[in-house]
Amino acid sequence: MKKNNTDLSRRQFLISGAVAVTAMAAVGAGVGLIQKVRGKDIRRQDFLRPPGAISERDFIYGCIKCGLCVQICPVFAIKLAGIKEGLSYGTPYIDVREQACDFSCDSLQCVETCPTAVLDFNQFKDAGANAIGEYEKGRDVTDPDFNPFRVQIEAMKEAVIMGVAKVNENTCLAIKGEGFKGTPRGPDFDGVYRSPERGRGKGKGLGRGEGRGEERGEGRGEGRGEGRGEGRGEGRGEGRGEGRGEGRGEGRGEGRGEGRGEGKGVAGDGNFSGGEQLQNNRELKATPLKDKSFDREICDLCVTECPIGCKAITMEEYRDINGNIGYKPKVLDGCTGCGVCVMVCPTQEPSIIVEPINQGSHV
């Protein structure tokens, strides 16, 4: 018996209709997820745009999602947003807790390679040119040590503003007077960065003095103490703090007089924040954080591991309500928001975060 063409058409219609309903349901679920993302995760405080990002509104319209910035980043800090990141789909972002921008490329390659200039290189080009101009003043260009490029690189890095770091004073180990020993994020953490080259430390000196005098002579003694401070990264830099102790001794009479004295001196701040003392073991490339071990009497990793240095963050001395001296991180205007401080922070929830500078919607 022949099948009726009308029955076949009806069956095909029903099958097609079922497929269409399924597809519409899938699209609806996708829209629902997008709406949920828009409603709840419109702003992720731990996600940053790469260096040089223009205003957020212009960025999401101008970015062609090519992924060149992702490919060229030597530490793989840049990712492309999926549907769950709360960002415009396919646009680049940095999750600094997982992998910060440590500037180890030394040339802002992600910005240079951007074909649409939503990562704008002009501001860094101008900063580098101005730095070279200042460096060349009063210098002999024929001197073998003449090298303006290092100055240019530093100036370009310092011109970056991805966000601003903020300290959580309730959980910060330094503010609680606690130290840290070991590897900050554990043996399974995959983040990498290049250890900075600047050495820092606080020193206390204890001086002992001994003096000898003759015929009612007066003796004076002087002692010098030396404090050693941990260098940034794995090296140790001598942060010398001098303590001067003075001992006075007086002998009276025709014979000899001998005096002994002891003095204690507390060093002036031997905190070498900035480029006051450079290490000879500067890392040439980024290495895993899990391979680096620290031993700090007072935790200061956010300060010592900052690639910008004292222009961005320092340890500030303060007194608590009982008059005891303590130390806490102080974020300065030079903070670039690179996020290395967040990545190396050893507390379970980071005690320092970076808030993005662009406050428009990422969606």
End-to-end CA distance of the chain: 60
Asked if the structure places residue 14 within a domain, the reply is: no
Domain count, the chain: 2
Query: For 303-337, what is each residue's pLDDT tens digit?
Result: 999 999 999 999 999 998 888 899 999 999 999 99
In a domain, 117, yes or no: yes
94 and 141 share one domain: yes
Check residue 96 and give its pLDDT. 96
135, containing H or E segment: helix 122-136
pLDDT above 70 coverage of the chain, percent: 62
Q: In the structure encoding, which two tokens stand for residue 272, read together? A: 């070498």
Is 313 a member of any domain?
no
- Do residues 230 and 357 both lie within one domain? no
In a domain, 275, yes or no: no
Average pLDDT score over residue span 60-89: 93
Q: Are residues 167 and 213 in the same domain?
A: no
- Give the per-residue pLDDT at 141: 85
Q: Please indicate, yes or no, whether residues 127 and 243 belong to a single structural domain of this protein.
A: no
> Best-predicted range by mean pLDDT among 131-145, 230-244, 335-349?
335-349
**Greater confidence, 287 or 29?**
287
User: pLDDT by residue (tens digit) across 263-273?
Assistant: 333 333 333 33
| pLDDT winner (highest mean) among 60-64, 223-227, 284-288 | 60-64
Residue 131, domain member (yes or no): yes
Specify whether 41 is located in the same domain as 84: yes
Give dist(CA 77, CA 100) in Å, integer: 6
Q: Are residues 146 and 256 in the same domain?
A: no
Cα 156 to Cα 122, 203, 333, 363: the distances in Å are: 10, 33, 16, 29
pLDDT of 83: 87
Q: Does the residue 91 lie in any domain?
A: yes
Which domain range does residue 355 map to?
Answer: 33-171+189-194+287-292+335-363
**pLDDT at 23 (0 to 100):** 47
152 and 105 co-located in one domain: yes
Do 167 and 37 fall within a single domain?
yes
Give the model confidence (pLDDT) of 7-55 as tens digits: 555 555 555 555 555 545 444 444 444 444 443 434 465 699 999 999 9
Contact 160, 338 (CB under 8 A): yes
**Same domain (yes/no): 39, 164:** yes
Question: What are the tens digits of pLDDT across the range 216-240?
Answer: 444 444 444 443 343 333 333 334 3
Please indicate, yes or no, whether residues 243 and 350 belong to a single structural domain of this protein: no
